[in-house]
Copies of this chain bind each other. A is one copy, B any other.
Amino acid sequence: MYFNIDPRKNTPLYEQIIHQVKEMCAKGILLPNEKLPSVRELSSQMVINPNTVSKAYQELERQGVIVTIRGRGTFISEEFHQTYDPRLVEKLKQSLKQMIIDSHYAGISKEELTEWIEKVYEEMGGNSDEN
């Protein structure tokens, strides 16, 4: 279980945890029903506050990525859980648009961007419904 968080980044620690868990699930590094480190264990590993880890886990459970069982621990959900939220979709569209524009200003061509996307999907493999 290799988490890599950076307090210097502008993105909050709890969001970094959320992102990494979802990424590892999407890539098949974390498998369904697999146990995650406990709140206290992960917090001491990362040298951050347990409350921060707890906040991340609670949001991950809200999104259906993980399942927590009192007294036992937290586990990756048995099945991949998609959420069709129109507002979320709209947010994603906006983020994508902004990212393309920023890339444009950074001198990144459409072709380069497309390559990046291909690589990400390759890393995710065919894991469309295996977690």
Q: Is A103 in the interface zone, CB < 8 Å from B?
A: yes
Complex Cα distance A62/B90, Å?
Answer: 30
The complex is assembled from copies of this chain, and their number is 2
Which residues of the other chain, B, contact A47 by a CB distance below 8 angstroms?
none
Complex Cα distance A85/B68, Å?
Answer: 42
**Helix, strand, loop or mixed for chain A's interface?**
helix
* Partner of A102 from B92, B98, B103, B124 at Cβ < 8 Å: B92
Please tell me if the beta carbons of A99 and B96 are within 8 angstroms of each other in the complex: yes
Please tell me if the beta carbons of B23 and A105 are within 8 angstroms of each other in the complex: no
Number of A residues near B (Cβ < 8 Å) is 37
Q: Is A93 in the interface zone, CB < 8 Å from B?
A: yes
Which residues of the other chain, B, contact A3 by a CB distance below 8 angstroms?
none
Q: Is A95 in the interface zone, CB < 8 Å from B?
A: yes
Residues of chain A whose beta carbon lies under 8 Å from any beta carbon of chain B: 19, 22-23, 26, 63, 65, 81-85, 88-89, 92-93, 95-108, 110, 113-114, 116-117, 120-121, 124
Please list 18 pairs of residues, one from A and one from B, whose beta carbons are closer than 8 Å in the complex, sorted by A's number: A19-B98, A26-B105, A65-B105, A81-B105, A83-B106, A84-B106, A84-B107, A88-B102, A95-B95, A96-B113, A97-B120, A100-B121, A100-B124, A101-B120, A101-B124, A110-B117, A110-B121, A113-B117
